Amino acid sequence: MERRDFIKKTILATGVFLGGGITVPKITKAAEEKIPVFGPDLKSIGGRKHTPYVKAPKKVKAGEWFDVYVEVGYYHPHPNTMTHWIESVALWIDKFEVVKATFRATQGAPKALFTVKIDKPGNAILEGLGYCNLHGLWVSKPIILEVV
């Protein structure tokens, strides 16, 4: 039995043993499933609900920490119900995920302030990603950051 299947069955069995009532999250293998990425789309209501907003400085010093704000629902509020919510927001720098925050339905607003650093001088591309449980993965407009 694969580890992933064991974990799913263990979680499910624990929920049944404890009297049910818990929802077992779907465990996905994102790298293997080739998830489509949507956005940025600021023209449609659906796009504005899902496209992440990223706020970062235009210029930073190499090796020094700085803050980056990522939010889904900035352009238009996104629902936060038991059946439709943003599961996570992440910050990617030069096509690599650097940090990620996850949220439970109805209990977390899909926004995060990340403190990061870039060691190499030059230009870096920052992108925010948000994952909606119904509408998939959405990407922000890329931000070019100058690292001196």
What is residue 60's predicted lDDT score, i.e. its pLDDT?
96
Range 56-74 average pLDDT: 94
**Tens-place pLDDT, residues 121-146:** 999 999 999 999 989 899 999 999 99
End-to-end Cα distance, the chain: 50
Instruction: Look at residue 59 and tell me whether its pLDDT is greater than 50.
Output: yes
Q: Are 114 and 67 in contact (CB under 8 A)?
A: yes
Range 77-88 average pLDDT: 92
Of 113, 115, 123, nearest to 54 (Cα)? 113
Confidence of residue 40 (pLDDT cuts 50, 70, 90): confident
Confidence of residue 6 (pLDDT cuts 50, 70, 90): low
What is residue 119's predicted lDDT score, i.e. its pLDDT?
94
Q: In sequence order, what E strands does 24-142 have?
A: 37-38, 53-55, 59-60, 66-71, 86-93, 96-102, 111-116, 122-132, 136-139
Which DSSP state fits 25?
P
Instruction: Flag the least confident range among 44-48, 62-66, 70-74, 112-116.
Output: 44-48
The residue with greater pLDDT, 61 or 6, is: 61
